[in-house]
Structure 1
Amino acid sequence: MGKRSFFKNVVAFISTFTVLTSLVATNTVGSVNVMASEIQASNDGFITVGSIKEIKQEKNKINISTGSEKLQVIFLKDDVFRIWMDPTGKFEDPTNEKIIDKKDYKGVEPAVEDKGEYYKIFTGTVVLRAYKAPLKFAMYDKDNKKEIWSEKEPLKYNNESTKQTLDNKDDEDFYGCGVQNGYFSHKNKDMNISLKISHWNDGSSSNPVPFYMSTAGYGVFRNTFSPGTYSFKKTGIMNHEEKRFDAFYFAGDIKNVMNSYTELTGRPSLLPRWGFGVGDADCYNTQNPSYTGDKNKPGKVTTTDVLNVTKKYRDLDMPGGWILPNDGYGCGYENLDKVVQEAGKQGFKVGLWTQNGVDKIKEEVGKIGTRLCKLDVAWVGPGYEYGLDATKSAYEGIENNSNSRGFVWAVCGWAGTQRYSTVWTGDQTGGNFEYIRFHIPSVIGGG
């Protein structure tokens, strides 16, 4: 990896939601039976969810059965609800609620009315229609007059994936999906909600997130670690590679949706003040036999050489807040305690590039005094749940062994990453203006 200085861009990721088993009550409001046909596999190999056979209310939870599938609609707040479809009826969350940060919603009990063609499930803020035959959902405003989103077809699933088909509006724009390199507005586009990191340029998905927002007045988070694809064309198809559907819906404008989403999945971590300064990262220990780059580079032979760089920053009255002296495969470090002490005198915090884990973080942070971890793709590259666990271990390693705020950089983020880490868009080389061009929409879309 070559030397690079860059400004800190805080990217709040987007991401996750709550199971709320504490809100499952025993008071059954009512039960209705409706004629329904049996579910059959379609020509494309998917099973289509059938018609409502039974609907029961238990306080803030509406249980729906089609015979072959079981669904739950759970209202966390007036404007936040969850639609959960599980063909097994077990409603087991394979994420183990790792993405969900807030688990103490009190819940809101909606009213339910039979409107003939559909059931009206509503609060003072939003109406959710559950059409009976076949079962399709649509969200309306509180007056039940303005459609906000609607399913064009019932949910479909097989052993490999589950997809939702939406009837998107002509004047509707879509944002979110994490850091999608080169993009922030997704109308009429197909977006990868999966790691696409064979390169880090325009079109790569460096930090995907299963969450999007619409200017029609809503946002959706799919509670999953499974890869997916979202098509934001007139007929929108939102697909994830799992045999279940678990989505949280947020009503309101973009600002309100973002607030509700991060309330559920976690607020972005607040960086230490020095973390907003200019950072510098390179390998300053090129004498190390294990280093895979050019050996014995002048001025970068041993780790203490970085102190000449920090001094030059100050001699030239240049801003600088932190520095990583071991950024490179096999770089390693030596005399790190001296580097931390001397760089600290010049106003720099020292961090470490992390290739394969943070097993030494207790000593590096607690005894030596490092204050930053940059997690490389060589470690966090598997992404999804693995990446979230990695950022958490690095963040807590700093906070549990110092009096400093956790400061972590990572790629391959997912929903919930924002609680522990900022992200970057990957490694671009060549230094041309194309990289500046596509970073503008990348950062807008990610943040």
Structure 2
Amino acid sequence: MITNTELEYKGNLYPNQIIDFKQDTDKLYFTTENGVILQITVMRNSTIRFRYATGHTFEPDFSYAVSEDASRGYNRLEVTETDNEYYIETTRVKILVDKASLRIQISDLEGNIFNEDEIGFHWEENYEYGGNTVKMSKITQTGESFYGMGDKATHLNLKGKRVNNWVTDQYAYGKDQDPLYKAIPFYIGLHQNKAYGIFFDNTFRSYFDFAHERRNVTSFWADGGEMNYYFFFGPDISKVVRLYTDLTGTPELPPLWALGYHQSKWSYFPESRVKEIAKQFRELRIPCDAIYLDIDYMDGFRCFTWDKDHFPEPKRMMKELKEDGFKTVVMIDPGIKIDKDYWVYQEAMEKGYFCRRGDGPYMHGKVWPGECNFPDFTNPDVRAWWAELYKEFMAEMGVDAVWNDMNEPAVMEVPSKTAPLDTRHNFDGHPCTHRKAHNVYGMQMVRATYEGVKKYVYPKRPFVITRAAFAGTQRYSSTWTGDNVATWEHLWIANVQMQRMCMSGYSFVGSDIGGFAEQPNGELFARWVQLGVFHPFCRVHSSGDHGDQEPWSFGTEVTDIVRKFIELRYQLLPYLYTMFYQYTTHGIPMLQSLVYYDQEDSQTHFRTDEFIFGDHILVCPVQEPNAQGRRMYIPRGKWYDFWTEEVIVGGKEKWVAADLDKMPLFIKEGAIIPKYPVQQYVGEVQIEELVLDLYYKEGVELSSVYEDSQEGFDYTQGKYSLRKFKLIGKPKELIIQQHKDGAFITPYESFKFNFHGLPFKISGIEIDNEKVALKDLKINGNNSLIVDKNFTELHIVGK
């Protein structure tokens, strides 16, 4: 352990003896002799906030990350004092506060230590900017693993890594390159099958060292602000993630079309090219719901304008696209061209909405339009103005959704790639410089965009996308992982990033399928589509510098494979929509890393490739060229091979054959997977029956299906349908129980059950305790039957 003398020598300061304690309901205050105050707030039984002040003074308590809807309340809070410690106890955790040093130890009620300060809180005065560099060091437990931290392009398990959070435009980034486009300072620790989480709610540039510099120490620190972190007690990873996600929030349900396949490029123009792309999708029968317009649709890259040469009648064009089932998504960047004849620039200047430098001049920088000024999106008045700018686009012209790019903010031709650090921001009434506001700039831009889009697409639901994000941005927007590269390594990176983002509370995420920079070959493109259709946000996007990157760009064989997997995504839309419902209502990640799925199995702690899609589908992409299959880890339990229906017993590695037209997919036994018919776009066909693929299990398994109108907000008033199925399998019988919630009436009247692995021939059926003639159920041998959707219990007897 580092001694106090060494700390002083290194210029660090640290708390000393506690001289005062007081309690104010859920808040406990410990004051030291040298003016440090530790405020411990019991948010929930398993969520504890730790906040430190120096010089007896706390900063204003304000957070962009914490949701207004975060749950509060606890069952028990007891404080006891001994000669050397204070003990704080809830119904889930016990916290020890050392009187001599203010160090913390957190354990469960049985005394198992989850988390323990090493030095604990310490700080160093920042003479250049003022304030403190605030630091926290924790003891790394033996065998401890670490997960989370957002879009880091490195191994899923962060043990031995050091990362930092500074939202950065990182074109063509590589594996292990850091930082990237997002700052999500939240991690999960796991040791001895017990998990906890820490969220460091500090918007300054922050750093995390997971036993990299010293193998027994995990530390995190920031260039300014307060040491302010939340501790989440598991012991399950799933509980930790749900607690963090509850604190920082979840989005509304998106329109169902937002979960379809989307096509983008830098850039599709002029109008004739856009129409040509749309026509090709329909002629080749490749499902697609949205086409994206990058910056070239604008007049000289001026936001909220159209290039009338390339898009003479955008309202008509978008109406015609809509008639063919395509939504139009347009890009909007933060940089506003300095042009006295440009109305957006004029308004912002008149209202004083642009950011200024420390000594008063406007902050400007070069982006696509040339020299630009940048709105201060941390000012609520600016956000309200920005939201109103979307009125013409959304309400009058027919734009369906908006894509915010370059919002780190990215600035060209400067070493920092972004705004100068002395740029001033309102920070919602807490004035600061860019050192503090940088990591939330993009978040506040897309927040304003979300408010505008939501207002002007009403009564439909909004859909927006952002590149830059801070913790909590998931409340407003989907996201993607930025300017990746068309390489096999980036296919691996994309897979890990999606899992990490979902574990970090941000599930509505995807990558640029096929790679943004450079050009994939057909094999890489096909393998990336196979992975991408199992990501929550599914979009092909490319720079276009090296050739086309549409599904038909790589020959007939690849086109057929891509079509096959996009069709599979459209079949799985009700399953995917149910995943999204579980995410929004319960904070359950839409993708689950194997360690999340089964932390008790130590074999999962370092797996990166395999993940669970929703509750019941195991996915493992092929990530090497010329592969006819791969080795993968099958988690514990029994799994059906999606392609062959062979039942595999998990808990081991297995070679799985997967030629280019297949990828390893497995279905958990007992699952009931809902499916729609293949559509060329969401809403093209009326759903006349819901297909339920049932995978037999001897035992019990739960499944669910969530549905609503797919657009609009009636679901918030109870107009939804949530069906919960309980499968009970026995050697000669199968029982399916159904419970339905919600007032939404689905358009179909029947279920078509497709049976997989049924070990007996059906000889009799009872529906709600009444025998039914097999001929009345359109039974197809031993494979399928059609039943009324309103049954409570379906009892199938075999012989």
Calculate the TM-score normalised by the size of structure 2. Answer: 0.47
What residue in structure 1 maps to residue 686 of structure 2?
Answer: none
What residue in structure 2 maps to residue 374 of structure 1?
Answer: 403
DSSP 3-state at the match of 2:282: helix
What residue in structure 2 maps to residue 128 of structure 1?
Answer: 95
Given that 1:181 and 1:425 are in contact with CA atoms closer than 8 Å, whether structure 2 keeps it comes out as no
Q: How do residues 44-193 of structure 1 correspond to structure 2 at under 5 angstroms?
A: 44-67=10-33, 68-93=35-60, 96-101=62-67, 102=69, 105-106=72-73, 110-143=77-110, 145-159=111-125, 160-193=132-165
Amino acid in the other structure paired with 2:391: K
User: Shift in Å at residue 387 of structure 1?
Assistant: 1.3
What residue in structure 1 maps to residue 516 of structure 2?
Answer: none
DSSP 3-state at the match of 1:279: strand
DSSP 3-state at the match of 1:270: coil
User: Shift in Å at residue 220 of structure 1?
Assistant: 0.9
What residue in structure 2 maps to residue 350 of structure 1?
Answer: 328
Given that 1:60 and 1:76 are in contact with CA atoms closer than 8 Å, whether structure 2 keeps it comes out as yes
Distance 1:284 1:81, change over 3 A: closer
Given that 2:134 and 2:225 are in contact with CA atoms closer than 8 Å, whether structure 1 keeps it comes out as yes
Given that 2:440 and 2:469 are in contact with CA atoms closer than 8 Å, whether structure 1 keeps it comes out as no
What residue in structure 1 maps to residue 627 of structure 2?
Answer: none
DSSP 3-state at the match of 1:311: helix
CA deviation string 1:318-367 (max 9, x = no partner):
01111112345855543221221111111111110112365631110111
For residues 400 and 147 of structure 1, the distance between their equivalents in structure 2, rounded to whole angstroms, comes to: 49
Structure of higher CA gyration radius: 2
User: Shift in Å at residue 195 of structure 1?
Assistant: 2.5
Q: Which runs of 4+ in 1 moved over 4 A?
A: 38-41, 327-333
Comparing 349-358 and 336-345, the one that deviates more: 349-358
Amino acid in the other structure paired with 2:289: G
For residues 193 and 55 of structure 1, the distance between their equivalents in structure 2, rounded to whole angstroms, comes to: 34
Q: How do residues 402-441 of structure 1 correspond to structure 2 at under 5 angstroms?
A: 402=457, 403-429=459-485, 431-441=486-496
For residues 32 and 57 of structure 2, the distance between their equivalents in structure 1, rounded to whole angstroms, comes to: 15
Given that 2:334 and 2:407 are in contact with CA atoms closer than 8 Å, whether structure 1 keeps it comes out as yes
For residues 327 and 436 of structure 1, the distance between their equivalents in structure 2, rounded to whole angstroms, comes to: 26
For residues 467 and 257 of structure 2, the distance between their equivalents in structure 1, rounded to whole angstroms, comes to: 21
**Unpaired runs of at least 5, structure 1:** 1-37, 286-299
What residue in structure 2 maps to residue 401 of structure 1?
Answer: 456
Distance 1:91 1:411, change over 3 A: same
- Cα RMSD, aligned residues only: 2.3
Given that 1:181 and 1:206 are in contact with CA atoms closer than 8 Å, whether structure 2 keeps it comes out as no
Distance 1:112 1:239, change over 3 A: same
Is 1:257 aligned to residue 229 of structure 2?
Answer: no
DSSP 3-state at the match of 2:219: strand
Q: How do residues 254-403 of structure 1 correspond to structure 2 at under 5 angstroms?
A: 254-283=237-266, 300=269, 302-328=270-296, 330=300, 332-333=306-307, 334=311, 335-356=313-334, 360-377=389-406, 380-381=409-410, 383-402=438-457, 403=459
Is 1:206 aligned to residue 181 of structure 2?
Answer: yes
For residues 341 and 198 of structure 1, the distance between their equivalents in structure 2, rounded to whole angstroms, comes to: 36
DSSP 3-state at the match of 1:191: strand
Given that 1:120 and 1:130 are in contact with CA atoms closer than 8 Å, whether structure 2 keeps it comes out as yes
What residue in structure 1 maps to residue 719 of structure 2?
Answer: none
Given that 2:202 and 2:225 are in contact with CA atoms closer than 8 Å, whether structure 1 keeps it comes out as no
Distance 1:141 1:375, change over 3 A: same
For residues 269 and 88 of structure 1, the distance between their equivalents in structure 2, rounded to whole angstroms, comes to: 42
Amino acid in the other structure paired with 1:166: K
For residues 243 and 451 of structure 2, the distance between their equivalents in structure 1, rounded to whole angstroms, comes to: 25
What residue in structure 2 maps to residue 297 of structure 1?
Answer: none
Amino acid in the other structure paired with 1:212: Y
Comparing 74-83 and 212-221, the one that deviates more: 212-221
For residues 201 and 271 of structure 1, the distance between their equivalents in structure 2, rounded to whole angstroms, comes to: 31
CA deviation string 1:373-422 (max 9, x = no partner):
11111564465121111110111111111122221221221111111112
Q: How do residues 234-253 of structure 1 correspond to structure 2 at under 5 angstroms?
A: 234-252=216-234, 253=236
**Unpaired runs of at least 5, structure 2:** 126-131, 336-385, 411-417, 419-437, 503-799
User: Shift in Å at residue 157 of structure 1?
Assistant: 0.8
For residues 97 and 113 of structure 2, the distance between their equivalents in structure 1, rounded to whole angstroms, comes to: 13
User: Shift in Å at residue 107 of structure 1?
Assistant: 5.3
DSSP 3-state at the match of 1:157: strand
For residues 60 and 479 of structure 2, the distance between their equivalents in structure 1, rounded to whole angstroms, comes to: 27
Calculate the TM-score normalised by the size of structure 1. Answer: 0.82
Given that 2:70 and 2:249 are in contact with CA atoms closer than 8 Å, whether structure 1 keeps it comes out as no
Amino acid in the other structure paired with 1:406: P
Amino acid in the other structure paired with 2:242: N
DSSP 3-state at the match of 2:185: strand
DSSP 3-state at the match of 1:319: coil
Distance 1:184 1:208, change over 3 A: farther
Comparing 125-134 and 354-363, the one that deviates more: 354-363
For residues 378 and 227 of structure 1, the distance between their equivalents in structure 2, rounded to whole angstroms, comes to: 17
Given that 1:83 and 1:246 are in contact with CA atoms closer than 8 Å, whether structure 2 keeps it comes out as yes
Amino acid in the other structure paired with 1:71: L
What residue in structure 2 maps to residue 4 of structure 1?
Answer: none
DSSP 3-state at the match of 1:179: coil
Given that 1:76 and 1:108 are in contact with CA atoms closer than 8 Å, whether structure 2 keeps it comes out as no
Distance 1:389 1:51, change over 3 A: same
Amino acid in the other structure paired with 1:416: G
CA deviation string 1:155-204 (max 9, x = no partner):
11123411111111122111111111234221111111223444433223
Amino acid in the other structure paired with 1:163: K
User: Shift in Å at residue 129 of structure 1?
Assistant: 0.8
What residue in structure 1 maps to residue 643 of structure 2?
Answer: none
Given that 2:28 and 2:40 are in contact with CA atoms closer than 8 Å, whether structure 1 keeps it comes out as yes
Given that 1:323 and 1:351 are in contact with CA atoms closer than 8 Å, whether structure 2 keeps it comes out as yes
Given that 1:269 and 1:418 are in contact with CA atoms closer than 8 Å, whether structure 2 keeps it comes out as no
CA deviation string 1:36-70 (max 9, x = no partner):
xx999712222111121111222211110003111
Amino acid in the other structure paired with 1:396: E
User: Shift in Å at residue 208 of structure 1?
Assistant: 2.2
Given that 2:50 and 2:229 are in contact with CA atoms closer than 8 Å, whether structure 1 keeps it comes out as yes
CA deviation string 1:215-256 (max 9, x = no partner):
242111111211111111121111111242111111112111
Amino acid in the other structure paired with 2:282: R
Given that 2:71 and 2:247 are in contact with CA atoms closer than 8 Å, whether structure 1 keeps it comes out as no
Given that 1:155 and 1:163 are in contact with CA atoms closer than 8 Å, whether structure 2 keeps it comes out as yes
DSSP 3-state at the match of 1:75: strand
For residues 238 and 379 of structure 1, the distance between their equivalents in structure 2, rounded to whole angstroms, comes to: 22
For residues 342 and 281 of structure 1, the distance between their equivalents in structure 2, rounded to whole angstroms, comes to: 18
DSSP 3-state at the match of 1:153: strand
